[in-house]
Amino acid sequence: MSHDHAPNTVGDWTLSRDQHDIALLSLDCTNREVNTLTPAVLDDLSTLLSELEQHPPAGLIIRSGKVGSFIVGADIDQFAAVDSYQALEPLIRSGWDTYSQLAKLPFPTLALIDGHCLGGGLELALACRYRVAVDRPSAKLGLPEVMLGILPAWGGIKRLPELIGAAAALPLLLSGKQLAPRRAASLGIVDLVVAERVAEGTASHVVLNGIAPRKRSWLARASNTAMLKPLIAKRVRRDIERKDPHQHYPAPRIIAEVWEKHDGNPLEAPQQLDALIQSPVTPQLIRLFGLQEQLKGTARQPNVAPMRRVHVVGAGVMGGDIAAWCALKGFRVTLQDQDIERIAPAIGRAQQLFKRRLRRDKRAITAAFDRLIADPQGLGVASADVVIEAIGEQLEAKHALYQALEPHLKADAILATNTSSLALEALREGLEQPQRLIGIHFFNPVARMPLVEVVHTGDADSDAVQRACAFVGAIDKLPLKVKSTPGFLVNAVLAPYLLEAMRALDEGTSKAAIDTSMEAFGMPMGPLALADTVGLDVIHAAGSALQDAAQVPRCLTERLELGHLGRKSGRGFYHWPEGKRDKRADQESGDVSADRQLALRLITPLVEQTRQQLHNGIVESADLADAGVIFGTGYAPFSGGPLTDSRIAAKDDI
């Protein structure tokens, strides 16, 4: 370290220079676990950049003072507190001007990214000439603002398309998708991905010696020109309309317009931003983000030792997919069933999952595949930190299995059931240590559903429950603690909704009218398609436990008698060859439009059951009930959830 330049601390930033006259600028937000960008942090950054303009170094490296965490973006509370563009404009201008100042510096600049680099954090990195990322598969890079109902306002809409081309950048801007460092590098967002031990040396080398510029295609370079922008924007708008035909979400449309007509500068689109800020959707999405963070907080259990090994018993659709997901997320997984023939289909599905999720990264796919081990003898039980039972819903069979498993479990191992309908109290009978059995209830399809219910019998703060929540967080899912009761939270509220849709079908309402009306309401799929996805046998079991007196819909009974269980059997209400819905085979004649009254009829039992589960203490709060139903069923996120949705009480137009 040069003695000529003592470290200069301004707010949460520290500026120093090394022996090569490279300026090192570190951010470490005091009293926070992660770095967030507040107005004060931005002002202090601008002050330090002005100082560097006066005394130019050989180069600048911006890094985090927190190990394994770069910058997670702006402080979300800032957006929740404003209700007009006028109130937000100073913050937007501050970030835009400061990052423009960074981008114009005459010497090489580099963002050394270690850990999550999101929102304003990635926009800061994009304003640098180079980006070097530490190779942490758990780290994520992205611009998730659209998921909060807002937009990247500090240059992301301009710089990301300029860097990697509009065709690659706009899908990221419009979906909020987050990427692991290697995937970001393959797209050209990051220049190099390196091991932690050589990160600082690599960053210094790049700043002093430069790096060969990445070759971009002609189309990527031309995609931001006046000639091609309208064509690309037209295609993008068509895509937005396909995904959100009922215009529930304003942010994607405004992001596309700011890119096309204002060169990515939101300060030139005050009317659009004002409409975005005043939209009722924005505060609900910001609230939902907060609820998601609350669930992630449940997974943070500092006193729980790391878990490495999982044993799954039952290689059916759920058990096999749970095993595959755990292997994908870095766990060593043994998968048990009666013989290797029963395990083979699950291994095949796992391979497809790895290829899809790991983007044909052969090394990563091989590593994931190596972590998933067929284990018909159940040898993995003795070394497993978590043992998950995912066999059929027969109480006696589960009891017999637990009695066989319990003597072989490690002292601190979790024994978990993925039951969707049996009471935990009944399942615990006969165990030497009944409190160690808890529910870890996944939803189908495992890879797509973010929520996992952690089921307890009133001992929500027990060691087993805390360990289960930590495990759920370690596999990148959201743990929701629920009390043992038929259907828990999600299936309990889904069953009356899906059964009501089936009754409407029995009455002669068409499948298309039922599903189209609920898609217009804001559901990601209609109730009949969802019933097929969940499994008609699961719906029947949950419905029977919840509604003893209710008549089972005729259409459900008929399909169960035929063995048509939905997606997993290839046929239910719809055809599902190879697990994908064949929409051509299910087309109904005539034009089908959404029916507001039908949607309100179908959703009302779900809302009433959510209120009932909250009243019964199945979930701790109304906020968590909303979060559970949104993340567990896909309930219209823009509405805030069933207990917050103003359309239900007011019976307004959908």
By annotation, the residues acting in catalysis are: 123, 145
Three-state SS string across 386-403, please? Answer: EEEECCCCCHHHHHHHHH
CA distance 162 to 428: 59
Q: Which two tokens stand for residue 320?
A: 């096999």
Question: Which residue type does 355 have?
Answer: K
Cβ 599 vs Cβ 606: under 8 Å: no
Angle at which helices 536-546 and 554-561 pack, to 10 degrees? 130
Cβ 11 vs Cβ 3: under 8 Å: no
- CB atoms < 10 A from the CB of 601, how many? 16
Cβ 402 vs Cβ 427: under 8 Å: yes
CA distance 265 to 58: 30
Q: Which two tokens stand for residue 507?
A: 């009455």
Of 614, 620, 588, nearest to 461 by C-alpha is: 620
Is the peptide bond between 445 and the residue preceding it cis, with omega within 30 degrees of 0? yes
Q: Which residue has the tokens 């808890």?
A: 438
Q: Which residue has the tokens 């460092």?
A: 181
Angle at which helices 251-262 and 156-164 pack, to 10 degrees? 70
Query: Strand order in 178-179's β-sheet?
Result: 69-71, 116-118, 141-142, 178-179
Cβ 46 vs Cβ 98: under 8 Å: yes
Q: Which two tokens stand for residue 487?
A: 């259907």
Residue 525: Cβ-neighbour burial (10 angstroms; 0-12, 13-18, 19+):
middle
Contacts of 197 (CB under 8 A, 6+ apart): none
Coil vs helix vs strand at 505 = helix
Cβ 72 vs Cβ 116: under 8 Å: yes
CA distance 386 to 638: 36
Q: What string of DSSP letters covers 557-619?
A: HHHHHTT--BGGGTBSSSB-GGGS--TTTT--SS-----HHHHHHHHHHHHHHHHHHHHTTSS
